[in-house]
Chains A and B, each alone.
Chain A
């Protein structure tokens, strides 16, 4: 199994609806990040939540983190057609050691928002 697994793999909704994506991971983390990727493009950072935080908001985005369950969720409220993209969670391990900087990505959730 991989660090950072998202579900669902694909999500199709109508404009105006909310979209919720979940991410599970296996090891202790320093922080968890969510990224967005439009087809064929690079990744854009959306939000970072630290291991000592439980919830964070940024515009229409809300991220929660439950370290006891090793899971996170990303909620996009009032979705728009322009939100159509792949969404990835990525974990950064705890401090110390050479792995400090690298991110471990999940497989991603493909979100389609229909106008």
Chain B
């Protein structure tokens, strides 16, 4: 059973461009979470999705950020018009249930020039 997969692993964007981060959960997992980690800090929750539904987006910035988890395909975290402050590592996690252990992907490191 492959683990959580994220791509790309590294993404460089210029200010004003769009960033699309993909996450494929573990097989059989319908719960997906996105977290952001700034340098030397812990992870901050962004959004929690369960197949086609956003359950909790309380950690998402109100503008420029969106997330989806379609019926088919990976979950996507989309950042429009990126700014330097968006530079961070973005981690996706999945779980088979809405509570308990979460399985993390390797992360996408976004650098905004």
Contacts and interface: CB of A to CB of B under 8 A. Distances in A.
A11 interface: no
B17 to A, nearest CB: 24
A105 B44 contact: yes
B91 A102 contact: no
Interface in B84-113: 91, 93, 95, 98-107
Contact of A33 (B4, B41, B59, B101): B101
A17 B103 CA distance: 29
Interface residues on A, range: 20 to 34
Given A30-B99, A41-B106, A101-B98, A106 B58 contact: no
B103 A103 contact: no
Given A42-B104, A105-B42, A99 B99 contact: no
Contact of B56 (A45, A88, A99, A108): A99
Given A45-B101, A92-B99, A105-B44, 14 more contacts: A33-B102, A41-B106, A42-B107, A48-B101, A98-B56, A100-B98, A101-B98, A102-B45, A102-B59, A103-B35, A103-B43, A103-B93, A105-B43, A108-B42
Interface of B: 4, 31, 33, 35, 41-45, 48, 55-56, 58-59, 91, 93, 95, 98-107
Interface of A: 4, 30-31, 33, 35, 41-45, 48, 88, 90, 92, 95, 98-108
